[in-house]
Amino acid sequence: MKFLLYYIIAINLYGIFVMYSDKKKSQKGRWRTPESTIFTIAIAFGALGIFMGMRLFRHKTKHKKFVIGIPLILIVELFIFFTYIYKLL
């Protein structure tokens, strides 16, 4: 159980970092993080971090696939996580 919590914390912190990094790269006109990479992190239970990064850095907030897709992934992940926790109790 501890490993799962550590993993979720780490992947979400990484998601926030990726969004921050991509925002800075976009401001400097440099090579960007592919959208597929961002969605892969989100699907790997990092959707909360990606979502927080979107809000904190106002990044990807005009792209419908992010505005709709990331919250949907987050809802599914929260459902899976709490279903898993409930079964352990």
Neighbours of 39 (CB within 10 A): 18
Q: Supply the pTM of this predicted model.
A: 0.91
Structure tokens, 30 = 């440099």
51-67 mean pLDDT? 95
The type of residue at 63 is: H
Confidence check: pLDDT of 69 > 90: yes
**Distance linking the first and last C-alpha atoms of the chain:** 12
**Proportion of the chain above pLDDT 90, given as a percent:** 89
Q: What are the residue boundaries of the structural domains of the chain, listed by start?
A: 2-88
Q: Which among 77, 86, 87, 83 is positioned nearest to 15, based on CA atoms? A: 77
Q: Which among 19, 82, 7 is positioned nearest to 45, based on CA atoms? A: 7
Confidence check: pLDDT of 32 > 90: yes
Q: What is the pLDDT of residue 86?
A: 83
Q: CB neighbours of 81 closer than 8 A, spacing ≥ 6?
A: 8, 45
Assign 40 a pLDDT band (cuts: 50, 70, 90): very high
Confidence check: pLDDT of 85 > 90: no
